[in-house]
Structure 1
Amino acid sequence: MPQRGNRRELLADAAIEVLARDGGRGLTHRAIDREAEVPEGTTKNYYPTRSAVFLAVARYLAAQHTEALRSLRSQVPADVTGEDIAALYAAMLRRMSTSARSQFLALFELHLEAVRNPEVREALGDITEANVDTAVQLQTAVGRRMSRRGAGLLDAGMLGVALSMLSLPDDLVEELGFDDPDGLARALLSLASVRDEPAISVLRDHAS
C-alpha cells in the first residue's frame, strides 16, 4: 500500500483531472476515488468534505508551483536576455493549453471556489505572489524595472489569455491573435512594464 504522503498526492492528482474534465460540480469523493483507482471511501477518509478537497488541491498546486518558480529564480543565467524572458512566458502560455491543460483548468475552477472560500483564496495568493516575485526578478536580471503592481497585471493577463485560448471558438481565437503565444507574451510584458504606470508613481518609487 502506498505511504500516506503518496496517497495524498495520488488523490490530489486525481482531483485535478476531475476538476479539469467535469468542473467544480463534478468534484465528488466518488469521482476522485474512481479517477485514482482506489477503494470507494478513500477520498472521504482523507478529506471528509468537498471544501476540504478543494483546499487540499489548492495547497498541492500552490506547493508545486511555488517550488518550481523558486528553482527557476535560483537558476537564472547571467546572460539572460529580454527575448529569453519573452520566450519563457510564451512557453508558459503554450503549456497552459497543452501539457499543463488539466492543471490550468483546475486552477481556474479553484479561482471560482476561492470567491467563497477564504482558505482556498489564501493558497491561490501564494501562487500569485510567486509569479509576481519571479516576474520582478526576471526583469531586473535584464536591466528592466517592473513594479509588483505591473507584475500582478502580467499574471492576471496570462491567466485571462490562457483561458480565452481554451474557451473561445477557434475562428475567434485566430481572429484575435490568441493563437500566437509569442506575440501575446511580448504584448503582456510590454503592458506590465513600469513605463506604462503614472509618472508620479515612478518618481515616488525612485525617491524611496
Structure 2
Amino acid sequence: MNPERRDRLRDAAIEVLAAAGGRGLTHRAVDAEAGVPAGTAKNYYPTREALLAGAAERCLERYHEARRAAAAPPGDREGLVALLRSLLADVAGPGRARLLAYLELQAEAARRPWLSTVLDPIAAADFAAFEAAQRAAGLPVTPERAAAVTLAMHAAIPHLLAGGPATLAAAGLDDLDAFVRGVLESAYPAG
C-alpha cells in the first residue's frame, strides 16, 4: 500500500465526515474528495468499518501532530489562559474538520463499541495533558479540578462548531478569553 495515498484517503474521510456526517461516509464520497479513481478507497478499506477505523486512526495522528505543534507548557496562569484560548480558537479554524469528524466518530462509537477503543486515546491524552498544563501553570491541581477544566473545554467544542450566536453568548463562548478565565476561576479561585 502506498502510505501517501492511504493518508490522502484518510484525510478525505475526515473531510467527508466533517461535511456530510457519518451517513455521508461512503467509499465513493471518499474517492471523490481525495480526487482518486473510483474504487481506490475500497481497495484500501474494503468495508465501511475499515473506513471508519482509518478515519479514526488519522484523527488520532492529526491530534498528536496538533499537540506537538502547540505552545510550550504555560509558566503561569496567564500562560494557561493563552494556551486554552488558542485551543478553543482552533475549533473554528484549522482544527474544525478534524473536530467535526471526531464528534461524528464518537457518535458512531456509541453504536459501534470497537470504534471507542480507537478514539479513547485522544480523550485520555487530553485529560493527562490538561492536568500537566495546569500543574505547569503553578495551580493547586487535584485530579477533580483538572478533570473539571478538561470537561469544560470539551463541552465547549460542539457549541463552537455549531456557532449559534445565542448559545455562544449564553455559555460565554462569544468571549473566549473571559470563558477560559471563568473556567479557571471556578476550579481555582484566585485568592
Q: TM-score range by the shorter chain?
A: 0.7 to 0.9
Cα deviation, 1:154-179, whole Å, max 9, x if unaligned, reads: 33322321211232532342344221
Report the CA distance between 1:183 and its aligned residue: 1.6
Q: 2:134 aligned with 1:139, yes or no?
A: yes
Partners of 1:192 and 1:13 in 2: CA distance: 37
Partners of 2:90 and 2:163 in 1: CA distance: 17
Report the CA distance between 1:185 and its aligned residue: 1.7
Cα deviation, 1:127-167, whole Å, max 9, x if unaligned, reads: 11211111121121122233344433333322321211232
Moved over 6 A (4+): none
Alignment-derived partner of residue 202 in structure 1: none
Question: Which of residues 16, 36, 39 in structure 2 aligns to 1:38?
Answer: 36
Letter in 2 for 1:90: R
Compare CA radii of gyration and give the structure with the larger one.
Answer: 1
Q: Is the 8 A contact 1:132 1:148 kept in 2?
A: no
Partners of 1:150 and 1:118 in 2: CA distance: 29
Alignment-derived partner of residue 76 in structure 1: 73
Q: Is the 8 A contact 1:90 1:185 kept in 2?
A: yes
For structure 2, which runs of at least 5 residues remain unmatched after alignment? none
Alignment-derived partner of residue 114 in structure 1: 109
Normalised to the residue count of structure 1, the TM-score between the two structures is 0.80
For structure 1, which runs of at least 5 residues remain unmatched after alignment? 196-208
Q: 2:86 aligned with 1:96, yes or no?
A: no
Report the CA distance between 1:104 and its aligned residue: 1.0
* RMSD of aligned alpha carbons: 2.3
Normalised to the residue count of structure 2, the TM-score between the two structures is 0.87
Report the CA distance between 1:25 and its aligned residue: 0.4
Question: Which of residues 111, 123, 133 in structure 2 aligns to 1:128?
Answer: 123
